[in-house]
Amino acid sequence: MDPRGARDVLGLVASSFAEFHYGEPSGVSDPLGWPGYPERQHELSAETGLRESVLCGQAVIGDSDCVLISFDFRYFGGSLGSRTGNRLVHAFDEAVRRGLPVVSLVASGGSRMQEGMRALLQMQRIAGAAARLRAAALPHVTVLRNPVAGGAWASVAGSADVLLAVPDATVCFAGSRVRGASEDAEAFTSNGKLAQGQVHRLVELEEVGGALSELLPLLRPTRGDAPEVPRALGHTELPSSGAEAVQRARAAERPRAEAYLADYFDNRFALGGADPGMLCGFGRRGGRSIAYVAQAGTANSPAGFRAAARLVRLADRLRLPILTLVDTPGAAHDAKAERDAIGPAIAELFTAVADAVVPITTLVVGEGGSGGALALTSHTTVWITPDAYFSVIAPESANAILKREPDELGATIDQLRLRPQDLLGLGVVHGIASHAPHDVQ
């Protein structure tokens, strides 16, 4: 459990904090007439100096103004009561009124039993306030402390756009007293949630302020025009044959997504996920914020495609242009991928890209394998490097479908017309990247 109070945690994160005036009535909140509840409120107030389990106000983190919410686990386990809900709704609505992002530092055991259904109903109210924040194109970043459970996880924290978490924290819907013993203990921790793609990054509490100082400026829209095309980092000359194009794209020494991202951005904030082959995050280039999704050369899983779709939708809502890097031999197609709904996951990404209003620039940097690659591809601005190819299907699979012999593979590759220059001639791509960046405005 996190023993630090709400103000102690605020001091680790923010350089200044001005608490809101909530307009609360004096006295205690006791909607059910719960025996001993008013007296316990008085006791906890004397011990903590608080009248509720959250503090809300306007703060400065790094160079960014925000609305900051800090839970205090010492006050009824940071649980959600009627007044907690009032404060949280007020904070989200103030963020909308002031045009500020919300940062929530959550440590909570869930909904407060002593207030019964009045406490549980706060989840609906919080969801409504969070929806108003989303409609205003303002981000919500949460920090999961220890523990985060029940109503707080399923309303305040779980609905955030970016989820940071302290390592080894308890993060779950049902606490151990409710669910009983479990063989998979890690599933109920922040580490497990990171592996499942439900948390974006683990950060020590003492380092949260620095992480937020990096992230918050990247979530502010700047220019809305299309991102410029990254420069090519590999070969300058075009392949002479389809077989050479495929060989280059599969070469171990070819520059990969990480190299392109490092070369392109001045600084960036990476968001982790369940699929290490789908890199998502936000970056700054030449003073402008750009979201990115980059394939890292592997067969992407359903979790990877869903993470990419979430990032595209978030960037579109925040009015941030998007850069995508395509590099995959194709989507995963094993039994696990089928059980995890690979088809609907790819469809979800196709839909997110199609729905996006912000400009998307795509560069194919390696293998462009079938629908798993096309799902991440812009409808308007698609470029390719001399080290890449794009194909309706993997060449070997095409050869097998056509019932051709292995020695006919080269001919099949040429017939697919998958070289960069072939794709340009077909109108599939709009340009071939050189070693100098291209302005696509």
Residue spans of alpha helices (H) in 219-301: 242-250, 257-264
* Tokens read off for 29: 């909140």
Cα angle 376, 380, 381 (rounded to 5 degrees) comes to 75
pLDDT at 222: 82
Pairwise CA distance, residues 354 & 195, whole Å: 28
Pairwise CA distance, residues 303 & 194, whole Å: 12
Cα angle 294, 323, 101 (rounded to 5 degrees) comes to 100
Phi-psi label, residue 274: left if phi above 0, alpha if psi -120 to 50, beta otherwise = alpha
Pairwise CA distance, residues 26 & 43, whole Å: 16
The CB density around residue 140, as the number of other CB atoms within 10 Å, is: 24
User: Confidence class of residue 135 from pLDDT cuts 50, 70 and 90?
Assistant: very high
Residue 282 in contact with residue 266, Cβ under 8 Å? no
Pairwise CA distance, residues 332 & 335, whole Å: 9
Pairwise CA distance, residues 137 & 140, whole Å: 10
Average pLDDT over residues 351-359: 97
Q: pTM for the whole thing?
A: 0.92
Type of residue at 169? A
Average pLDDT over residues 323-331: 96
Average pLDDT over residues 63-69: 97
Residue with token string 């020590």: 204
Q: Which domains does the chain have, with CATH numbers?
A: 6-218 (3.90.226.10), 242-432 (3.90.226.10)
Per residue in 411-435, pLDDT (tens digit) is 899 899 999 999 999 999 999 998 7
> Of the given ranges (63-67, 223-227, 362-366), which has the lowest mean pLDDT?
223-227
Who wins on pLDDT, 333 or 106?
106
Q: What sign results for the dihedral spanned by CA atoms 274, 275, 276, 281?
A: negative
Cα angle 292, 294, 297 (rounded to 5 degrees) comes to 175
